[in-house]
Amino acid sequence: MDSIRIVVADDHEMFRECLVERLNQEPDLQVQAHVGDAAETAMLVRDINPDVVLLDIDMPGSPFVAAGEIARRSPSTKVIFLSDRHADRHIARCIDVGARGFILKSHDVRSLVTAIRDVAAGQWHFVPEVLCRMVVQGDTLSLKESPQTRLSQLTPREVEVLRLLAEGQSVKQAARSLGVSYKTVDNQASSLMRKLDIHSRAELVRYAIREELAVV
């Protein structure tokens, strides 16, 4: 059985080298090269035509552009994005450029190894935190909602309330920050929870952090 040939692309050298060493311990995986720039990755893939590219979503060199270039010029090469965040807008871009997988860096290496094998076999592999927000129809993936669908329903004031709550302020503190009454902020919090189809303040905070509306 031929090994699955891999390129690892991540700008954090220590992470990249540790990942390469770990993947090469698997009998059916072979890292052909590792690089720290997305544009360089796209050029390299044209030359060596690996089976799978692991591409850091935040690395220099426009990783989404690189993924699109790989899909056009090396259609047999499958891209798995690596990231420490999973906002809807990032997932939408991954889908748009033809990525076959998405793995959070907080997951263990076994999850990544499984993803590599799945994608090399022609399957999709998105982590559960992302897959629950997606629709799979045959060979087509999409988000259940456009990244802007839910947020676009909120007023600017509701977005501000959401940000303050996600940053740890209580309703009373948020009211003071905004110069309005407690009841006003409480009503706005209830309204934005209804619009976002969120059922607890804790879930609301997690949503705001995931979509990078808050600095925590």
> What are the pLDDT tens digits along the chain (216 aa)?
689 999 999 999 999 999 999 999 999 999 999 999 999 999 999 999 999 999 999 898 889 999 999 999 999 999 999 998 777 777 888 888 889 999 999 999 999 999 999 999 999 998 888 887 777 776 777 776 654 556 667 888 888 888 888 888 888 999 999 999 999 999 988 888 888 778 888 888 877 877 777 655
Write the DSSP symbol of residue 139: T
Q: What is the CATH number of domain 4-143?
A: 3.40.50.2300
Q: Do domains 4-143 and 151-210 have the same CATH topology?
A: no
Three-state DSSP class for 195?
A: helix
136 contacts: CB under 8 Å, gap ≥ 6: 124
* Reported pTM: 0.71
How far is it, in rounded angstroms, from Cα 49 to Cα 47? Answer: 6
pLDDT at 45 (0 to 100):
95
Q: Domain residues of the chain, as ranges? A: 4-143, 151-210
pLDDT at 91 (0 to 100):
83
Three-state DSSP class for 97?
A: coil
The correct answer on CATH 1.10.10.10 for the domain covering 151-210 is yes
- Strand order in 78-83's β-sheet? 29-35, 4-9, 52-56, 78-83, 101-104, 125-126
